[in-house]
Structure 1
Amino acid sequence: MNKTPSLIDQNNETSPTAKHPEPACGERWTQESQKRHEWIAVAAYFKAERRGFASNHEWDDWLEAELDYAQWQVEEYLMILEEDGGATMIGLQRLAQSIGIEHPESIHTKTDLIQAIQCACQLLPCFRTGAEEQCKLVPDCQWRAECKKLIAEWKRHEKHH
């Protein structure tokens, strides 16, 4: 049985700890999709159980569980960034894929990827817009530190050109 790579392994282009060859792209997508679906199904069940299985709330439970999953994946990814350094395109694409964003490989900039991830987490896609007032609207933004790093990098680049 192939081990699904964790986000720790996925943030690196190649994982030095991988013991099995990485599954083909389609196989990895299927594994990630199945893992995501199972996690959301279990979480939705427990949400329904907490409210006594009242009818007509199944979709609410499912959508809330999807959002919980996306936020959990983002939190895990950002914790890894604190340890490993900056975000990579591959890491962001894999994060986007893991939370259900279709065809993240067709998104070609870190900014656009992070904004798509923010949308999937039902957040204002404000990453790297430079609008300070938007930053103040979301005081607990998960992306604040990474955003500040990229803005500083962008401003340094602008000064040299």
Structure 2
Amino acid sequence: MSDYLQQFTGALREVVREIGFEDTSISVEDIDPSSVELVASVGITGDLHGFMMLRADMQSAHNFVSKMLINMGIEPEEEEGFGQFHKEAIGEIVNQVSGRSTMMLADQNIDCNITPPTIISGQSIYSDIASCESSISHILSGNFGKIGLFVGIKNSSL
């Protein structure tokens, strides 16, 4: 099962490099749950059932979106706080990572689909992840801060 979960880590690595984040590292650890102020998640259906989440504090998420725009040659607007545009950008990232993951899984004959992204923001967001059969937690670190990747599989038909 963990080989399948590692496809999500590989997809994250590919997507962040494609959008210009060269100086990042991915470590095998979980993000401090008390720091989580933003969760972008997608459901996973098909041969694997579960979910994928990107979790971050607001400052790291804001810095990530600003740096992403700069990497694309777009000057970020000095928007106060974490607005709708920022949420949509993070939603697009979680969509790209999960979509790339399902393509990588398809190469291993694992048929999965994803749900549309859901974005939740607030203080100390808690996720019930205890019911997963298997999971991975990684942290993407860079000059923007830290973003946690969590993938949890509740059941599989494999």
Same fold (TM over 0.5): no
With normalisation by structure 2, the TM-score equals: 0.32
Structure with the larger RCO, 1 or 2 (CA within 8 Å, 6+ apart):
2
Rg comparison, structure with higher value: 1
As a proportion of its length, which structure holds more strand? 2
As a proportion of its length, which structure holds more helix? 1
With normalisation by structure 1, the TM-score equals: 0.31
